[in-house]
Structure 1
Amino acid sequence: MARRLPPLSALRAFEVAARAGSFTAAASELGVTHGAVSKHIQALEIWLGRRLFRRSGQRMIPTLHGQAFAREISSALDQIVDASRRFGSSASSSVLQVNAPATFAMRWLVPRLHRFYEQRPRAEVCVSTSTTTDHSLTGHFDIIIRRGPEQWDQFESLEFLRERNTLIASPALLRKKPLKKISDISQHTLLLTDSRPGDWESWLKEANFKNDFPVRRQSFDHFFVTLQAALDGVGLAIGPFPVLAEDVEQKRLVTPFRTVAVPRKSYFVLIPKNADQSPLLKAFVNWLIAEGQSASRSRDAGRSRATDQK
């Protein structure tokens, strides 16, 4: 049976207008006139038999039905773009699209990218980020990095980095209020992250903390905000290693009880199944695995030195 599809050019104009927030912005992105966008959307509304936009002052904004329809269409267009990239001729491409969690990208991946460029000087790695609460795997990416393992049926997955949580603080804060023993934590403000519930409870249990849970707390929605608060000396936080190893090496952070550590989920590289895996993609995956192994060896060596010094 033949598919009954609305005009594809009208769908594209509608998706851009809903996403960009105005017909004018959509016209600029598509390289057409404001009137052309308006006619496309009118044609789509007639085809559907339903209004997709309504006037609000001088602007046209999506109706509730239009907003829901736009989300569906945007996801479908992303899949088309993704399939075109994966099944097109990509063997000679020098651009790699990578999506990774924000803190991981900022503190671990990006600071190391220069090493990959030393191996592939003509490559370009475009990094976009997601938050811990964003579990979607949509979008036109060659590689997606997530913590797991999870049910990733449409992807090949390779573990490349294991993490452990431990207590972190700014050196300036501990100069004012030292942490000589675990019980001294009660004298500090604890920095909590809404998207990482249970981190403090797990670490305090591992540390055999006997006191009541400290009263002074400050919560943030995402860990990169919590991390900035720790760097600024607002309080103590629980942070992942080896992702934050560079901050310790540069003396931006200290780990006063580094041998007390709680395992976290590992990082995995995800590659869409049946995708055309270019030499660049394979080289990047191999590089990630090698960097992960190197970081794990450095972490284990650091923990051994700390144990020996006790």
Structure 2
Amino acid sequence: MQTPRRLLPSISSLRALEALDRLQSASAVAEELSLTQSAVSRQLQALERQLGTDLINRDNKRLSLTAEAQDYAAEVRQALTQIAQSTLRLQTAPLAGTLSLAILPAFGMRWLMPRLPDFSRLHPEVTINMATRLEAFNFAGEPFDAAIHFGHADWPGTQSILLKHEQLLPVCAPSLLGDLNITSPTDILNLPLLHIQTRPLAWKLWFSGQGDVSSRSLSGTMYDQFATISQAALHGLGVALMPDYLIEQDLAAGRLVALHPAPVETSGAYYLVWPETKSRHAALTKFRQWLATQSQPEDPLPR
């Protein structure tokens, strides 16, 4: 569907609107855009005529945005940022293609990184730029082509492929146990619990899954990443409920001990997620097709 011309204002007028919202001064806008104040004023007037609505409050020659225009400017800022990011990617790798990927720190380090050399060997023409994200993200406001994220594949306006289910195991340092004998899940409650911000209900759900819904407190210390909570467990600060792929080596070396016979699968999983608008992105297509060959839950970790 062709977008009507009246809904596509000029980039220069949108830049003037965005800058006025951010700088709060017509003179500052003129300086930033290398224009005269009168030129800035003309661009804003042209934008108002095209949109058929008032955007600017003019009080003693001082310009400011209306409340509605402030909301509009915030959305325009996101669009301009996306245009700039896309232009930069095109200029830096016009032929080979680049992929901007958001990753979870622990999963990216322990699951994705060991596998990436294979992708680089198969597709040396593709450059992958990565940044870590722990919190929920919005593709409309972030310069990412795709993300590796944890959840239930229910992100609106996206497509996804399953990479790995998460299986959790309670672990601690041998020194923490002392003479305590763990014979049932409730025995774990005699030890301090370590919690992670991204899974605030993990311990409650784990105990419920064992049939032991204890009325005792599940309080404990909170950590923001698996990297920090695993270090806390290794130093004997408490029991951590950890994904099995993160603590295999520590268990094998005896640095940690498992307090349950087997990992328990959670309802969430790790996915590669991308916006529907990026479904034909060339570098992303190559990456997701390759990643699909790596995504079997039973696939052993590279050593």
Tell me if the contact between 2:145 and 2:274 (Cα under 8 Å) persists in the aligned partners.
yes
Q: Could you report, residue by residue, the CA deviation over 1:233-271 in whole angstroms, capped at 9, with x for unpaired residues?
A: 322222224355466567665433251413231222234
User: For 2:243, which of 222, 237, 240 is the aligned residue?
Assistant: 240
Please point out which of 287, 291, 294 is paired with 2:290: 287
Change (3 A) 1:98 1:193: same
AA at the equivalent of 2:117 = H
Residue ranges of structure 2 left out of the alignment (5+ in a row): 49-54, 59-64
The TM-score with structure 2 as length reference comes to 0.67
Q: What's the counterpart of residue 54 of structure 1? A: none
Task: Establish whether residue 298 from structure 1 lines up as the match of residue 296 from structure 2.
Answer: no
Q: CA deviation at 1:201?
A: 0.9
Distance 1:291 1:136, change over 3 A: same
Partner of residue 273, structure 1? 276
What is the identity, as a one-letter code, of the residue corresponding to 2:121? E
- The DSSP-based 3-state class of the residue aligned with 1:284 is helix
Corresponding residue for residue 120 of structure 1: 123
Q: Tell me which amino acid in the other structure corresponds to 2:280.
A: D
- Aligned partners of 1:101 and 1:263: how far apart in 2? 17
- For 1:142 and 1:136, the matched residues in 2 are separated by 11
Farther-moved stretch of structure 1 (65-74 vs 153-162): 65-74
C-alpha distance in structure 2 between counterparts of 1:107 and 1:259, whole Å = 20
Contact 2:165 2:265 in 1 (8 A): no
Matched, 1:136 2:135: no
Match of 1:163, SS state, is strand
Superposed CA offset, 1:66-124 (max 9, x none): 97555322332355468879999x89424221123344324432343234323334532
Bigger mean CA deviation after superposition, 33-42 or 201-210: 33-42
Q: Is this contact kept in 2: 1:189–1:214, CA < 8 A?
A: no
Contact map agreement 1:167 1:258 (CA 8 A) in 2: no
What is the rounded CA distance, in whole Å, between the counterparts of 2:204 and 2:251 in structure 1? Answer: 23
Q: Deviations over 1:203-260 (max 9, x none)?
A: 1223344754356511345555544533443222222243554665676654332514
Query: Which residue does 2:34 correspond to in 1?
Result: 36
Aligned residues: 277
CA distance in 2, matches of 1:69, 1:253: 53
Is the CA contact 2:193–2:221 (under 8 Å) kept in the aligned structure 1? yes
- Percentage of pairs with the same residue: 25
| Structure possessing the higher radius of gyration over alpha carbons | 2
1:76 and 2:79 correspond: yes
- Give the C-alpha shift of residue 190 in structure 1: 0.9
Matches of 2:186 and 2:260 in 1, distance apart? 12
8 A contact 1:168–1:255 mirrored in 2:
yes
Which residue of the other structure, out of 158, 163, 166, is the alignment partner of 2:169? 166
Give every structure 1 segment of 4 or more consecutive aligned residues whose post-TM-superposition deviation is greater than 6 Å: 16-19, 40-47, 62-67, 82-88
1:49 counterpart letter in structure 2: I
Cα 1:35–1:112 change in 2 (3 A) is: same
The alignment partner of 2:293 has SS state of helix
Q: Is the 8 A contact 1:185 1:214 kept in 2?
A: no
Q: One-letter code of the match for 2:157?
A: Q
Out of 7, 11, 23, which is 1:8 matched to?
11
Aligned twin of 2:192? 189
Q: RMSD over aligned Cα, in angstroms?
A: 4.6
Q: Distance in 1 between matches of 2:111 and 2:155?
A: 23
Q: Residue 49 of structure 1 aligns with which residue? A: 56
**1:3 deviation in Å?**
1.9
**Contact 2:57–2:66 (Cα < 8 Å) also in 1:** no
Say yes or no: does 1:108 pair with 2:114: no
Q: CA deviation at 1:200?
A: 0.2
Q: Is the 8 A contact 2:193 2:240 kept in 1?
A: yes
Question: Structure 1 length as normaliser, TM-score?
Answer: 0.65
CA distance in 2, matches of 1:120, 1:285: 12
Question: Which position in structure 2 is the counterpart of 1:95?
Answer: 98
> CA contact under 8 A between 1:161 and 1:289: conserved in structure 2?
no
| Structure-1 separation of matches of 2:159 and 2:88 | 17
